[in-house]
Structure 1
Amino acid sequence: MLVSTLKPWWSWMQKPLLHSFIRAITTLTPIPPHTFLHLHNPSDSVIYLKNREIDAFIKLRNLNAALAVFHTTPLRDTVTYNLIISAFRNQPNHALRFYAEMGLRGIRESPTTLTSVIAVCTNAMFFKEGVQVHCRVIKFGFTCNVFVGGALVGFYAHVGECGVALDLFDELPERNLAVWNVMLRGLCELDRVNVEDLMGFYYPRMLFEGVQPNGVTFCYLLRGCGNQRRLEEGKKIQGCVLKMGLVESSVFVANALVDFYSACGCFVGARKCFEDIENEDVISWNSLVTVYAENNMLIEALEVFCVMQVWRKRPSIRSLVGLLKLCSRSGEHCLGKQVHCHVMKFGFDEGSVHVQSALIDMYGKCMDIESSVNVFECIPKRTLDCFNSLMTSLSYCDAVDDVVELFGLMFDEGLVPDGVTLSTTLRALSVSTLASFTSSQLLHCYALKSGLGGDAAVACSLVDSYSRWGHVELSRRIFESLPSPNAICFTSMINAYARNGAGKEGIAVLQAMIERGLKPDDVTLLCALNGCNHTGLVEEGRLVFESMKFLHGVDPDHRHFSCMVDLFCRAGLLHEAEELLLQAPGKGDCFMWSSLLRSCRVHKNEEVGTRAAQVLVELDPDDPAVWLQASIFYAEIGNFDASRQIREVALSRKMTREIGHSLTEIRQ
């Protein structure tokens, strides 16, 4: 175990720090500013000097000194709070506390205040708090302010509410280039927005209003085309970029072109765009390394990585993380160690959270959990990302009890779990022998109190966890509480029904998923087939299997064939099972033919069973269990000569099975 003397993990589940600043500034009657000034009789010059002092410390990045000055002076105005809120924008809890204090003191916000607070909510994904700040914006009449309005547009676009963002965007009386770029960014990051809508937003609407695009605009447009693999539309954007000369003047646009062609799978175009850059900088080289790494092109990624160092180009965090993730996916343990050496050489092992997390994940995915733990223990300041990476690695290596223990250690170090943490811990609890149904309930309560109950990953883990304990009704309630479940959520619910023998309900969820316009993948359809298999729904299973290729464009693999063979065998449709087996990749494996042979013994089908026994022996002649199963089948159908011959062949090959044994521990 990682930690031997920890308290039970639920003892760290204290109530999280809730952002209750809105309650303070909306339900209390604020003291008018003139009353505050009258009570304390402040001097404007003193406030001005203190603000200058706070600003100087902030510019020197000495937040402790700035905070000390802030706390030692009772004379504060809007500028004072604007400075301190902006300084703590990377610490959202602190920033929102200062905003709450500002409201309690009766100091009215300015557009700068609201813009800073909205930016804090945007970066921290505080949806409820951001909506409440929006109410303050409306109350004080700042909706027409281009900076406040632009910040709100960016906030709603960032949290995925592009409909609200578009409404606010349309209501702005004035829209500068920055607001247009913010809106374009939000649109291009949404998978459900068509490229036609994105291009229509740029042309003719943006150009009709006389707003001239810049390099950032084209970067977002290229990203949107790349995300949906729209090669032709992206080439049109490239024509505009070349016409404006942005490739030569902006390395970011040049790199965006490389990323666009890579996302579309056109690596020749990506390489050509890279070679067309006259003065390739570090970003260009690292971009190409990352592109190859993200598309599992190991040889090409290593080639560019080596050449860039020959040209004395320093690898960036992005390229190193890309190589580490490639090693994780491919299980290249030796190469991962070499990349780790480069990480230490360039000093990224102590200064980059992303690299640390990628190293922990890489060793875990390569089943070297000891090295993964060593990297974690050598980190000077452990962050939430590092904890999440180690928990994921432990879970991947089936060290589920250590995952639960690490969850308690997080609280001991003062870290607040996020959706990834809770999701990983819930998965560990559902399979741990030391956990119980109550453990999942306690973690569910914490998820609700911390506002993470609506997180898709957490909800899916809860659905899976409750279904493993047999409480499929609780799984259904959680699923139905989601406002807009994605394909993964539907898959989890279908699997929950399948696990508990409710095949018809799983088929109904699959149908609802299709009606919503979500496309099921191979895992979703496999879960639906499993539900049919466990419930004996032959016709429904046959329909799902036949619709895979023609309706959903999914090629069935050996898992789907195995599930259908088992379904036919249970129903006694042995001839159909045999025909399907002959259509499977490689004409089936030992498990499928073994399942068919067992069913032939149950249903006394000598014809199909004889063929199945012959194929089974040919597929795996070195497995003694195969010979034993075939021998027993021939004996049961009365062909004792064939049964004896098979046993003699097995004995001549000196085949023996391991004898099972059990251990009993006696406590003295």
Structure 2
Amino acid sequence: MPERNAVSWNTVIAAVARSGSPGDALGMYDGMLQEGLAPTHFTLASVLSACGAVAALDDGRRCHGLAVKVGLDGNQFVENALLSMYTKCGSADDAVRLFDGMARPNEVSFTAMMGGLAQSGAVDDALRLFARMSRSGVRVDPVAVSSVLGACAQACAGEYSVVRAIRLGQSIHALVVKKGFGLDQHVGNSLMDMYAKYMEVGEAMKVFESLPSISIVSWNILITGYGQVGLYAKAMEVLDLMQQSGFEPNEVTYSNMLACCIKARDVPSARAMFEKISKPSATTWNTLLSGYCQEEQHQDTIELFRRMQHQNVPPDRTTLALILSSCSRLGILELGKQVHSASVRLLLHNDMFVANGLVDMYSKCGQVAVAQIIFNRMTQRDVVCWNSIISGLAIHSLNEEAFDFFKQMRENGMFPTESSYASMISSCARLSSIPQGRQMHAQVLKDGYDQNVYVGSALIDMYAKCGNMDDARLFFDCMIAKNIVAWNEMIHGYAQNGFGEKAVELFEYMLTTKQKPDSVTFIAVLTGCSHTGLVDEAIAFFNSMESNYGITPLVEHYTCLIDALGRAGRFVEVEAVIGKMPYKDDPIVWEVLLAACVVHHNAELGECAAKHIFRLDPKNPSPYVLLSNIYASLGRHGDASAVRALMSSRGVVKGRGYSWVDHKDGARAFMVADDLGTNVGQSTTFSESEDTSGIAEVHCDETCAG
């Protein structure tokens, strides 16, 4: 083999670097140095390009040092290669120092420096550099114009105002026309991208139509532009037109369409686009994961994450936060713990975005103590983190702790959001504490959230659960904008407090306002009907759901109707409803029927209902207690004892209830035989004698279908 010299090494290193194997190129460079051959400016340019491609900053700095040693640091070819390497490695400070030390920067130098500044977020500096380039007499070429247009595009997403950013872009566009660069495809694509990022998709379309030749990049930019402004149908139209013009969509096309579909909340189409991408990046996976989270399809989020793991795609901070959110919503603690472990391995557990997700997941999954430990270890906390811990405490009825954290949040200078207030107001509702609720209402007024529908709905719910329907209605009537949630809370409040007629009256008034009812609205009004004996009204409302509003009745709606009919003793109609409904295996239906049988001493139908609950919910004590009560009311004490014995033999235990009262030192809980000295959260026991004599089976005839 002929002796290898610098020329042969340069040729091979440059070829390997261009072939997409920058790591191999760096290895060959080390081999060249080991043979004692000095690099030339061509060698260094190829190696620095490879360093930039793989962001090998340390290797790049080593090359820089060698360039100084062999006297090539003043070579413009090497200087530009160094400049490009530093900008691609994200070391803007090194790039600026190098550029400022250059004796005669040319158009390549200015272009590389502008791109680096824009990439690092120093958009102002990039634009000033372009002005300096024009003043210094350096030739402004299409590549430089493309670079500054990229900076203009980023300006809109940065600290600039949209108006100022558009003005900047338009002045550059004028320069493009003046210099005759409008026919250059790269310049045209940069102009389109800039206008697309400005949300000026009409201007982007004009540039597109003026281009003498169109590439797949041009089509992709246009699709992205329409997607960004929410014109989903137009983006699909452009995709079809692109294919009709002979262009095959590439992975960028499908990624852009995926993002567009997610923005349009069309997750099935987004999934179809995703499946056409051969090697999705972590960003692409995250886009689809975010779509599932957005649509509350959390099980799909988990399954997609499992697939991502199987394909060995490393998760990033966004991935972990999304999965933690789904674990939180579904209450999947074990997977949440696995994600926590992964975040530690990836050194992402201290990232505020991930840490917020961990606090939320643990608190929502009942591990409030763990959530507090993570919260306390966080060096930075934003309002999202405070809301997560407060919400978790409130959900698990740790109401006093929630109030303490809310107080600390304000003391730490955090301004409560609508989520903060909704959680705290919910705590007041759970405590049925009017004094604390009024205090929170006063703070809501002070902070200007009284017209926020989210907070307003929580206030209505709080007053209703505290039994104060006058204040609930007063606040409801003062709301300027009412969404369906506010209407539902008010109707439900009337229903739960025994004002069925007012619930129906408000429901009918709502219909006159053109507010369309939803599934929850019908649960509320049907509850009002059942609690007030408005049976015929309940039947009419139930029948109108599907025919008038296209709402398919759920088990909750059937339960309300059965409750209304059962309370009225109309058991023939109850059996007809149960016979037709698709929810025969839901125990709550039979519990409602059994409760009605207790009221009307209907042992035959009560036995049937109890038998279904024994099968569907074996550890539920209610059917034993209720059936025993039916027998006792009919003087069948032997059967009542047999039911109690059966309950005991199956290990079914009746839970002990407790109540809350307001006390001068805060809320207190008490159970049977307690005094009011028991603090919230302290357990109290009492003895209860149970009849366990005569273990016998309860024999139930097949008196109803199911």
Compute the TM-score of the two structures, normalised by the length of structure 2.
0.57
Q: CA deviation at 1:386?
A: 0.4
- Contact 1:320/1:355 (<8 A) preserved: yes
Provide the rounded CA distance (Å) in 1 between the counterparts of 2:331 and 2:655.
Answer: 34
* Whole-angstrom distance in 1 between the partners of 2:325 and 2:222: 29
Output aligned runs, 1:373-392, within 5 Å.
373-392=372-391
Alpha-carbon displacement from aligned partner over 1:393-439 (angstroms, at most 9, x marks no partner): 11222212211111101122111111111111111122226xx4232
- Any idea what the Cα deviations from partners look like across 1:288-335, whole Å, max 9, x if unmatched? 4545666322233222244243xxxx5332222111112122322121
Deviations 1:13-35 (A, max 9, x none): xxxxxxxxxxxxxxxxxxxxxxx
Structure with more contact order per residue of length (Cα contacts < 8 Å, sep ≥ 6):
1
Q: Which residue of 1 aligns with 2:393?
A: 394
- The answer to whether the Cα contact below 8 Å between 2:590 and 2:612 also exists between their aligned partners in 1 is no
Q: Is the 8 A contact 1:321 1:355 kept in 2?
A: yes
> Is the contact made by 1:361 and 1:390 (CA closer than 8 Å) also made in structure 2?
yes
Q: Does 1:614 align with 2:608?
A: yes
**Cross-structure match for 1:164:** none
- Which of the residues 502, 508, 524 maps onto 1:505? 502
Post-superposition offset of 1:381: 1.7
Q: Corresponding residue for 2:89?
A: none
Q: CA deviation at 1:594?
A: 4.8
The 5 A counterparts of 1:542-621 are 542-587=539-584, 592-600=589-597, 602-603=599-600, 609-617=603-611, 619-620=613-614
Contact 1:320–1:343 (CA<8 Å) still a contact in 2? yes
Q: How far apart, in 1, do the equivalents of 2:587 and 2:258 lie?
A: 50
Paired with 1:473 and 1:237, the residues of 2 have a C-alpha distance of 56
Q: Which residue of 2 aligns with 1:45?
A: none
Q: How does 1:56-135 map to 2 (within 5 A)?
A: none
CA deviations on 1:352-375 (whole Å, 9 max, x unpaired) are x33222111111222211211111
Query: In structure 1, what is the equivalent of residue 267 of structure 2?
Result: 264
Deviation at 1:494, TM superposition (A): 1.6
- Of stretches 327-336 and 572-581 in structure 1, the one that deviates more from structure 2 is 572-581
Equivalent position amino acid for 1:274 in 2: I
Is the CA contact 2:227–2:263 (under 8 Å) kept in the aligned structure 1? yes
CA distance in 2 between partners of 1:616 and 1:145 (Å): 71
CA contact (8 A) 2:254 2:274 kept: no
- When residues 379 and 554 of structure 1 are mapped into structure 2, their CA distance, relative to the original with a 3 A threshold, is same
What amino acid is the match of 1:398? S
Deviations, residues 176-233 of structure 1 (Å, cap 9, x unaligned): 997887668xxxxxxxxxxxxxxxxx7899869989998676446446779xxx8x76
Shift of the 571–204 alpha-carbon distance from structure 1 to 2, 3 Å rule, reads farther
Give the Cα–Cα distance (whole angstroms) in 2 for the partners of residues 497 and 397 of structure 1: 26
Following superposition of structure 1 onto structure 2, how do residues 32-43 of structure 1 map, counting pairs within 5 Å? Answer: none
1:474 partner amino acid? D
Structure 2: how far apart are the matches of 1:666 and 1:406? 25
- Matched with 2:236 is 235
Alignment match, 2:319: 319
In the comparison of the two structures, how many residue pairs are matched?
Answer: 477
Q: Give the C-alpha shift of residue 260 in structure 1.
A: 6.3
Q: Distance in 2 between matches of 1:652 and 1:460?
A: 45
Distance 1:553 1:262 in 2: 21
Q: Which amino acid aligns with 1:616?
A: A
Counterpart contact for 1:255–1:274, Cα < 8 Å: no
Report if aligned partners of 1:238, 1:257 keep a CA contact under 8 Å in 2: no
Q: Match for 1:300 among 292, 299, 304?
A: 304
8 Å contact kept, 2:282–2:315: yes
1:236–1:179 Cα change, 3 Å = closer
Which of 460, 480, 491 is equivalent to 1:494?
A: 491
Give the conservation status (yes or no) of the 8 Å contact 1:258–1:271: no
Instruction: Decide which of 470, 474, 478 is 1:477's aligned counterpart.
Output: 474
User: 2:390 matched to 1:428?
Assistant: no
Long gaps (5+) in structure 1: 1-58, 61-85, 88-115, 124-142, 151-175, 185-201
Provide the secondary structure at the position in 2 that maps to 1:587.
coil
2:254 and 2:273 in contact (8 A); partners too: no
Matched residue SS, 2:549: coil
Q: Is the 8 A contact 1:247 1:254 kept in 2?
A: no
Q: What is the CA–CA distance in structure 2 between the aligned matches of 1:480 and 1:147, rounded to whole Å?
A: 46
Could you say what secondary structure the match of 2:349 adopts? Answer: helix
Residue 338 (structure 2) aligns with: 338
1:438-453 aligned at under 5 Å gives the runs: 438-453=435-450
Cα–Cα, structure 1 residues 224 and 527, in superposed 2: closer, same or farther, change >3 Å? farther
Q: Which residue of structure 2 aligns with residue 633 of structure 1?
A: 630
Give 1:304's aligned amino acid.
M
* Aligned-residue offset at 1:238: 2.7
SS of the residue 2:542 aligns to: helix
- Whether the aligned pair in 1 keeps the contact of 2:621 and 2:647 (CA below 8 Å) is no
For residues 501 and 246 of structure 1, do their structure 2 counterparts lie closer, same or farther at Cα, with a shift above 3 Å needed? same
Contact between 1:357 and 1:389, CA under 8 Å: does it hold in 2?
Answer: yes
Q: Is the 8 A contact 1:440 1:465 kept in 2?
A: yes
Instruction: State how far apart, in whole Å, the 1-side matches of 2:357 and 2:588 are.
Output: 37
In structure 1, give the amino acid aligned to 2:537.
E
Structure-1 separation of matches of 2:421 and 2:676: 37
* 1:356 matched residue in structure 2: 355
Q: Which residue of 2 aligns with 1:466?
A: 463
In structure 2, the CA distance between the partners of 1:251 and 1:648, relative to structure 1 (3 Å rule), is closer
Q: Are residues 1:437 and 2:434 paired?
A: yes
The answer on whether the counterparts of 2:530 and 2:563 sit within 8 Å (CA) in structure 1 is yes
Asked if the contact 1:343/1:349 (under 8 Å) is kept, the reply is yes
1:567, CA displacement in angstroms?
1.4
The alpha carbon displacement at 1:376 in A equals: 0.8
Cα distance in structure 2, aligned partners of 1:370 and 1:540: 48
C-alpha distance in 1 between matches for 2:227 and 2:347: 33
Q: Any conservation in 2 of the 1:261–1:270 contact (CA below 8 Å)?
A: no
Mapped to 1, the partners of 2:387 and 2:393 lie a distance apart of 10
**1:239-258 matches, cutoff 5 A:** 239-240=240-241, 253=256, 255-257=258-260
For residue 519 of structure 2, the aligned residue among 501, 517, 522 is: 522
Aligned match for 1:644, one of 638, 643, 647: 638
SS at match of 2:277: helix
Which residue in the other structure is 2:410 paired with?
411
Runs of 5+ consecutive residues of structure 2 not aligned to the other structure: 1-91, 94-120, 123-154, 171-191, 212-217, 657-670, 679-706
Q: What is the CA–CA distance in structure 1 between the aligned matches of 2:355 and 2:230, rounded to whole Å?
A: 32
Superposed, which structure 2 residues align to 1:66-215 within 5 Å? none
Work out the CA distance in 2 between the residues paired with 1:410 and 1:659: 36
Instruction: Provide the alpha-carbon RMSD of the alignment.
Output: 4.6
- CA shift, 1:385, in A, is 0.9
Provide the C-alpha distance between the structure 2 equivalents of 1:666 and 1:318, rounded to a whole number of angstroms: 49
TM-score w.r.t. length of structure 1: 0.60
Name the aligned partner's letter for residue 664 of structure 1.
D
Specify the structure having the higher radius of gyration (Cα): 2
How far residue 473 of structure 1 moved from its aligned partner, in angstroms, is: 2.9
Q: Which residue in 2 is equivalent to 1:372?
A: 371
- Following superposition, the deviation at residue 388 of structure 1 comes to 0.3
Local SS of the residue matching 1:664: coil
CA 1:513 to 1:306, structure 2 compared with 1: closer, same or farther past 3 Å? farther
Which residue in 1 is equivalent to 2:117?
Answer: none
Aligned counterparts of 2:590 and 2:629: Cα–Cα separation in 1 = 15
Identity %: 22
Q: 1:513 to 1:122 in 2, by over 3 A?
A: farther
Return 654-663 or 569-578, whichever deviates more.
Answer: 654-663
Q: Which letter maps to 2:674?
A: T
